[in-house]
């Protein structure tokens, strides 16, 4: 698939088919994605492919915290306590910062990872700055999403699923690592309305300034 087509076709998938994804396909996607750039070529990312019984445990743990009063405690600071109005007006999905009262409950669809058979957890060494290690992980993340699109798979990048790292740590061997982001991966349910939500982008005039 042509790269520009993949960039335009990729969209967040919020309803997956239960069908499993062959290990070879996941390996191919990660093998392609690892050519992402990183600071000094440090490749300062770790990817956990969580599936099967381990994913069932993560889903159960997330469902438990969703039903509790436990405050979120993500390894990375949330982007903003209050989004500036001009950014808030663009946002389709907007949630208060962790710690802001009341903490938003995790929706059932979320805790089920939208039905995806695979959850990728991206992590970075906790000795690095959260800013640039997350920047690098972000580049890998988009490569994963584009490669998945080329393999006719769907993805959803999900910060909400790393809000409770204590749910993940008993299942995933992530000692010394910070959870940066989660990516749901699987075959998209093309009949679901959840995958037809309108997506917009602001015009270049709002984000680009030419300085000649």
The DSSP code sequence of the chain is --HHHHHHH--B---B-S----HHHHHHHHHHHTT---GGG----EEEEEEHHHHHHHHHHHHHHHTS-PPP--SS--S-SS--HHHHTT-SS--PPTTSSSPPPPPHHHHTGGG-SEEEEEEEETTS-HHHHHHHHHHHHHHHHHHHHHTT-EEEEEGGGGS-HHHHTTTS--TTEEEEEEEEEE-B-TT-GGG--------HHHH-----
Contact map string, positions 126 to 165, toward ligand FMN, x by CB under 6 A: ------------------------------xxxxx-----
Task: Phi first, then psi: give them for residue 29, nearest 5 degrees.
Answer: -60, -45
Q: Does 12 bind ligand FMN (CB under 6 A)?
A: yes
Q: Does 11 bind ligand FMN (CB under 6 A)?
A: yes
Shortest separation between residue 24's beta carbon and ligand FMN, angstroms: 26
Contact map string, positions 63 to 92, toward ligand FMN, x by CB under 6 A: -----------------------------x
Can you name the residues that pair with 156 across neighbouring β-strands? 184
Which stretch, 11-19, 34-42, 62-70, 169-177, contacts ligand FMN (CB under 6 A)?
11-19
Shortest separation between residue 198's beta carbon and ligand FMN, angstroms: 10
Shortest separation between residue 179's beta carbon and ligand FMN, angstroms: 12
- CB closer to ligand FMN, 92 vs 209: 92
Shortest separation between residue 8's beta carbon and ligand FMN, angstroms: 10
- CB closer to ligand FMN, 14 vs 178: 14
Residues that bind ligand FMN (CB under 6 A): 11-12, 14, 92-93, 156-160, 181, 199
């Amino acid at each position: 698939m042509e790269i520009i087509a993949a960039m335009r076709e990729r969209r967040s998938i919020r309803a997956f088919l239960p069908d499993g994804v062959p290990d070879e396909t996941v390996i191919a996607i990660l093998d392609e994605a690892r050519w992402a750039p990183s600071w000094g070529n440090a490749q300062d990312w770790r990817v956990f492919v969580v599936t099967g019984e381990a994913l069932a445990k993560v889903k159960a743990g997330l469902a438990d915290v969703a039903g509790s009063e436990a405050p979120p405690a993500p390894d990375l600071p949330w982007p903003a306590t209050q989004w500036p109005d001009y950014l808030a007006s663009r946002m389709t999905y907007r949630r208060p910062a962790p710690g802001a009262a009341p903490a938003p409950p995790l929706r059932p669809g979320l805790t089920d990872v939208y039905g995806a058979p695979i959850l990728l957890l991206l992590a970075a060494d906790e000795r690095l700055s959260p800013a640039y290690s997350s920047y690098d992980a972000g580049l890998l993340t988009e490569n994963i999403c584009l490669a998945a699109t080329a393999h006719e798979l769907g993805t959803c990048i999900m910060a909400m699923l790393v809000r409770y790292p204590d749910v993940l740590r008993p299942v995933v061997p992530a000692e010394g690592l910070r959870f940066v982001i989660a990516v749901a991966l699987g075959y998209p349910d093309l009949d679901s309305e959840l995958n037809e939500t309108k997506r917009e982008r602001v015009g270049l005039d709002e984000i680009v300034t030419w300085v000649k």
